[in-house]
Structure 1
Amino acid sequence: MSRRYFGTDGIRGTVGEYPITADFMLKLGWAMGRVLSRKLSGSQARQKSAQSTRPKVIIGKDTRISGYMFESALEAGLSAAGADVSLLGPMPTPGIAYLTRTFRADAGIVISASHNPYQDNGIKFFSAEGLKLADEVETEIEEELDKPLETMAPNQLGKAVRINDAAGRYIEFCKSTVHNRLELHGLRIVLDCAHGATYHIAPNVFRELGADVSVIGGEPDGLNINQGVGSTHTERLSEAVLARQADLGIAFDGDGDRVLMIDRRGALVDGDEILYIIARDLHARGKLNGGVVGTLMTNFGLAAAFEKQGIPFERAQVGDRYVVERLLANDWLLGGEASGHIVCRNVQTTGDGIVSALQVLAVMVRENAPLEQLLDGFDKTPQSLVNVRLPSGTDARALLESQALRQTVEAVEDELGGSGRVLLRPSGTEPLIRVMVEGRPRFDVQAMAERIANSVETLIA
C-alpha cells in the first residue's frame, strides 16, 4: 500500500489541517496500541499473564501549545487499545529515545514539529531500542487507521502515569556521555534553547559540568518556539556571544535533536564542521571504528578533508533516518547533516543536540583550544542553497525530470567540471524544491543556483 501518513521523520502537519487533528491523534494512539498489543500477544516470552502482554508507551513533547491537546488525545487512544502510558511532559526528542530504553517501554512517542513554528506539529516514533520504527510497523499502524475504533473492555483499558523525574534522568545520561573527569570550569557558554524542549535540560547539564552559562530562548510560552531563536535563527546567539565575550555559543532546535555552534568571534559552526571536529578527534584516538556517514547535502570540502585523513566517507539520502540506516549497515559510529543533526552511535541511538555539543566541548578541553582552531584542515567549499516554493498540488518529482530543467542543470555542471556539484531535491516537510550548488571559490555558486531556481520558477509559472 502507499504510505499516506508516515514520512521520513514520523507524521507532520499543521494544527487544524489533515492529518494532524485531535481526532486523528486519538485514532493514531489507538492504532499504535493495537499493533503493539498484537506483537506482544504473539511473543511467547510475555504470555505469563494478561498484564504482561499490555504494551507500555512513553510520551514526551516539545513546548508548543498544541502539545497539551495532542498528548491527551494520544493517551486516550492508547488506553482504549489496552496500552499503558507514561507521560514525561516537555522532553527533547533524543531524551525520549533514551528513556524508551531506560523504562523498558515498547515504544516512545514525541509530539513535536522540530524546528518549525508553533502552528505546526508532528509525531515522531521510537522503537523499544530507541530507533525509528521499522517500515513494516508503520505500515501496520496505517492499516489499523483504516479500521473503525473499538474500545477495549473496561477491565482491559490501559493506565496512565506521569513520570516526574524524567528530566533528571536525562540530564544524568547526557553528562555520562563524556569522561567523568571532564570539567568545563572557566568556559563561558551562551545557550540558545529555542524556547523549546531543552530549556529545562541543557542549562543544568552544562552548569553541573562547571561551565559559566547564560541562556537565551529559555522562556517558552507555547507560542514562541523557534521564533527568532534556535538553530534556524542564530543571529541573536552570535550577538550574545560577542556581547558577553563568551568562549562559544550553542543553539538547539525546538525538540533538541539538532545543534549548531557559534565560535568566540561570532562565526557560525554548522553540522558539517561539528561532524569534522568529532570525527577527527575519534580518528586521532583510534576510536572512530570505521568511517562517517553524511548526506547528499554534506559539503564537498568535508568529503575532501576526510579523504586526506584516510577517513572513509559515505553519503546517504537527506534525513537522519537514512543516516542511521547507513551507520547500522556499515556498523559505523558517526554520521550527521549540515543542519546539525549529529548521530554519535557510541553514546546515543539518534541525533542528540546536547550530547553532540558535549563531544565537541570534550575535544576543546582535551586540546586546550578554542572552537575555531579545531577546524584546521577543513576548507569548506562555498555553497549556495535557494528554495523555490511550489504551488499546491505540484508534482515535485515530475518537475525535476523535465527536459528544460535538466538542460539548465547540465549546463551548470559542465561549468563546474569536477570542482563542484549540483543537487536538486524536494523538501520532505514543505512544498519546496531545494536547489543547491557548491564549487571552488572561483565559481559564483550563488548565481548558478539562482539560474537553476529561475528555471524551476519558469516551469511552474
Structure 2
Amino acid sequence: MKFQAAPIKFGTDGWRGVLGVDITIERLIRVAVASAQEMAYRAKNDSTNKVVIGYDRRFLASEFAEAIADAVRGCSLYPLLADVSVTTPSCSWAVVENNALGALVITASHNPPEWLGLKIKGPLGRSVEEDFTKAVEERLLTGGITAPILGETEKFSCRQNHLIGLKRKMDIPALLIGIRAMGLKVIVDSMHGSAAGCMTEILGNESHDFLKEIRTKRDPLFGGNAPEPLAKNLDQLIVNTQELALEGHPVLGLAFDGDGDRIAAIDETGRFCSTQLLIPLFIEHMAGVRNLPGCVIKTVSGSDCIRLIAKDFDREVIERPVGFKYIAQEMLSRKVLLGGEESGGIGFGDHLPERDALYAALLLLESIVYRRKPLGSLLDNLQKRLGTSFYDRFDLLLSDNDSRQRLEKSLKINPPLLVEGKKVKEVIELDGCKLRFDERHWLMFRFSGTEPLLRIYCEAPTYKEVEETLAWAKNFASQI
C-alpha cells in the first residue's frame, strides 16, 4: 500500500496528520521555521525574542521538540524548551509568564495514536488566528526557510510553573476541607496523556485519602484508543466510579485528553458528562456564586441549555464557529465569563484566553464542594430548572474527498427541510449546516478540520429523539 502525505494545511487548532506520512521531521522543521518567522515578523520591534517549546507524550514528540528548538534558533530567536512532557495549557501559561512571542507545541491532542502535530500559541497564550496560519502556509509555498542552528537549548520547569500558578488561583486548603467534609472520592483518568499526576501535585500528597489517578503511565498507543474524553474511551473510569458509588461514597470521575486542554466527567451514577452538561453548571457557579462579570461564548454545536442558563443570569450569549480560536478572539475583545465548546474545551475570563482542563477540574470541584452535593444531583437540579435535554454526536468516516465535496454541495444547495416528520424551522450555516426544529432540538452536519470525518451532532428533549435523528442523518449522509 502506498501512502501519500496530505498538503500542509492548518485545521481548527494546529497542523496534524499521520506520523511518518504527513508529519515527518523535515516537514515539521519547515513548519516550525515558518511559524517562528511569522512570530518574529508580527512582533516587529518588541524586545522579547523567546519562543516556548513544549511536547506531549506521543511517540517521538520529545525528539521533535528538540529539533524544532534548533529551527527556532536558526530564526535568531531564543527557544525555551519544557524539561518534561507538558499539557498544552502549560505552554500557554509559560508564554504569558515569560513574555514570549508565542509557543510551538508538539501534540496531536485527542487524535488517534498514530497522529502527531503542531499547535501554535500567540503572545497572549491563545491559539493563533486563521490569518496567522494562512501566513505560515504562504511562507512554506514561497520558500526562504532558514536552516536550523544546532546548540544547547535552555530547559525550564514549564509543567511545575503552571501547577504552582493554578494553586495560587484557588483556595486549596478550603477545597480540601470541603472535599473531606463531603466524604467525596475523586478518580482522575488522564488517558496516559501529559496531565497525568497533575491533580495530585496540585492538591498535595495529603489528597491520597480521597484522590486516585488511573492510566498515568506514558503509553504512546494510549491503550489502543484515541485519548479523547468520550464515553466509549472511558470504560475503566466509569467502572471505578460506579464501584465507589456502590460502597456509599459520593464520587466524581474526571477525564482529560492527551494534551490536557479538554475535560469530561463521570457522575456518581456512572453517567458520562460532557461539557454540554458541565458548561451550564460552570455558568451558574461563576455568575451566581463567584459573581464574576462577562458574557458567555458558545460554539454553534453547543447545547441550547447554555443559552438558557446564561439568560437566567442576564448574560449575553455570543455564538461562534467550532474551534477555540474563535472563542479566544472574543475573550480578548470583550469581558467574558467563560467560553466553551462541546468537544471538551472551556476557557474562563479570569484565567487564560485558552482551554485548561486542570483549571476547569478545580472549578468543578469547587462548585460541588460549595453546594455539598455530588455532580449528578447538581445536574439533575439544573435539568429540572431548564427542561430535559439530551445530546450525542456521531462521527462518520469519509471514504474520499469527493464524498465530502458531494455532501457539502448537497447541504449547501438543498438542505433537508423535513427530518423524521419534523419540520426544519431554521438553517444555520455559521459552521457546516445546522437544522433547527425547536428550542433544544437541532441536528448539525460539520466536517472535521483535522481528520477525514463528518461530525453529526444532535440535541433533543428525549434520548429516543436523539437516536432517531442521528440514525436518519447517518443514512442521509451515507446515501450521498
What is the TM-score with the length of structure 2 in the denominator?
A: 0.84
2:160 aligned to which of 168, 171, 174: 168
Q: How many residues align?
A: 443
Matches within 5 A, 1:132-143: 132-143=127-138
Amino acid of the structure 2 residue aligned with 1:58: V
In structure 1, what is the equivalent of residue 13 of structure 2? 9
Contact 2:281–2:382 (CA<8 Å) still a contact in 1? Answer: no
Give the Cα separation in 2 of the matches to 1:263 and 1:404: 39
The 1:400/1:443 distance shift into structure 2, 3 A limit, reads farther
Amino acid of the structure 2 residue aligned with 1:214: K
Give the Cα separation in 1 of the matches to 2:388 and 2:310: 12
1:426 aligned to which of 447, 466, 472: 447
Give the Cα separation in 1 of the matches to 2:78 and 2:412: 55
2:221 aligned to which of 215, 220, 223: 223
2:398 aligned to which of 387, 390, 397: 390
Contact 2:283–2:309 (CA<8 Å) still a contact in 1? Answer: no
- Please list the CA deviations of residues 340-371 of structure 1 after superposition, one character each: whole Å capped at 9, or x if unmatched: 21111212221111100101111122222222
Give the Cα separation in 2 of the matches to 1:244 and 1:230: 24
Structure 2 residue 26 is matched with structure 1 residue 23: yes
2:389 aligned to which of 381, 387, 394: 381
Q: Which range moved further: 177-186 or 340-349?
A: 177-186
Amino acid of the structure 2 residue aligned with 1:34: Q
Secondary structure of the corresponding residue to residue 174 of structure 2 = coil
Q: Which range moved further: 246-255 or 312-321?
A: 312-321
Q: Which range moved further: 8-17 or 306-315?
A: 306-315
Secondary structure of the corresponding residue to residue 176 of structure 2 = coil
Q: Which range moved further: 115-124 or 177-186?
A: 177-186
Give the Cα separation in 1 of the matches to 2:417 and 2:90: 42
Matches within 5 A, 1:253-292: 253-285=257-289, 287-292=291-296
* Structure 1, unaligned runs of 5 or more: 47-51
The 1:234/1:380 distance shift into structure 2, 3 A limit, reads farther
Compute the displacement of 1:87 (Å): 1.2
The 1:276/1:70 distance shift into structure 2, 3 A limit, reads same
Matches within 5 A, 1:303-318: 303-318=307-322
The 1:39/1:323 distance shift into structure 2, 3 A limit, reads closer
The 1:448/1:82 distance shift into structure 2, 3 A limit, reads same
Give the Cα separation in 2 of the matches to 1:7 and 1:289: 32
Contact 1:114–1:253 (CA<8 Å) still a contact in 2? Answer: yes
Matches within 5 A, 1:34-433: 34-40=37-43, 42-43=44-45, 46=47, 55-88=49-82, 89-146=84-141, 147-151=143-147, 160-163=153-156, 165-179=157-171, 181-185=173-177, 186=180, 187-207=184-204, 210=207, 212-224=210-222, 227=225, 231-232=229-230, 233-245=233-245, 247-285=251-289, 287-375=291-379, 376-378=381-383, 379-394=387-402, 396=404, 398-402=406-410, 406=414, 408-412=416-420, 413-414=422-423, 417-419=437-439, 420-433=441-454
Compute the displacement of 1:286 (Å): 6.1
Q: Which range moved further: 421-430 or 140-149?
A: 140-149
Compute the displacement of 1:243 (Å): 2.3
The 1:422/1:230 distance shift into structure 2, 3 A limit, reads closer
- Please list the CA deviations of residues 135-167 of structure 1 after superposition, one character each: whole Å capped at 9, or x if unmatched: 443333223323143438x8xx7751111x332
Contact 2:125–2:353 (CA<8 Å) still a contact in 1? Answer: yes
Compute the displacement of 1:242 (Å): 2.2
Amino acid of the structure 2 residue aligned with 1:201: C
**Cα root mean square deviation, aligned:** 2.7
Give the Cα separation in 2 of the matches to 1:27 and 1:290: 40
Give the Cα separation in 1 of the matches to 2:72 and 2:411: 49
The 1:442/1:356 distance shift into structure 2, 3 A limit, reads closer
Amino acid of the structure 1 residue aligned with 2:423: D
Compute the displacement of 1:384 (Å): 3.8
Give the Cα separation in 1 of the matches to 2:202 and 2:297: 28
- Please list the CA deviations of residues 375-424 of structure 1 after superposition, one character each: whole Å capped at 9, or x if unmatched: 22234422343322212222635523317994545345507842522211
Compute the displacement of 1:5 (Å): 2.1
Amino acid of the structure 1 residue aligned with 2:126: L
Amino acid of the structure 1 residue aligned with 2:294: G
Compute the displacement of 1:443 (Å): 6.2
The 1:200/1:225 distance shift into structure 2, 3 A limit, reads farther
Amino acid of the structure 2 residue aligned with 1:441: T
The 1:374/1:207 distance shift into structure 2, 3 A limit, reads farther
Compute the displacement of 1:39 (Å): 4.4
Secondary structure of the corresponding residue to residue 244 of structure 1 = helix
Compute the displacement of 1:300 (Å): 2.7
- Please list the CA deviations of residues 191-229 of structure 1 after superposition, one character each: whole Å capped at 9, or x if unmatched: 101101111423211335746211111011333267376
Secondary structure of the corresponding residue to residue 182 of structure 1 = helix
Give the Cα separation in 2 of the matches to 1:279 and 1:17: 42
Give the Cα separation in 2 of the matches to 1:37 and 1:210: 44
In structure 1, what is the equivalent of residue 3 of structure 2? none
- Please list the CA deviations of residues 256-283 of structure 1 after superposition, one character each: whole Å capped at 9, or x if unmatched: 0011111222222221222111210122
Give the Cα separation in 2 of the matches to 1:170 and 1:188: 25
Amino acid of the structure 1 residue aligned with 2:189: D
- Please list the CA deviations of residues 269-302 of structure 1 after superposition, one character each: whole Å capped at 9, or x if unmatched: 2212221112101222362313311222212334
Secondary structure of the corresponding residue to residue 402 of structure 1 = helix
The 1:231/1:127 distance shift into structure 2, 3 A limit, reads same
Secondary structure of the corresponding residue to residue 425 of structure 1 = strand
In structure 2, what is the equivalent of residue 49 of structure 1? none
The 1:78/1:221 distance shift into structure 2, 3 A limit, reads same
The 1:4/1:427 distance shift into structure 2, 3 A limit, reads same
Give the Cα separation in 2 of the matches to 1:228 and 1:26: 25
Amino acid of the structure 2 residue aligned with 1:332: V
Amino acid of the structure 2 residue aligned with 1:25: L
Amino acid of the structure 2 residue aligned with 1:377: L
Secondary structure of the corresponding residue to residue 143 of structure 1 = helix
Contact 1:28–1:77 (CA<8 Å) still a contact in 2? Answer: no
Amino acid of the structure 1 residue aligned with 2:476: S
Give the Cα separation in 2 of the matches to 1:278 and 1:209: 27
Secondary structure of the corresponding residue to residue 369 of structure 2 = helix
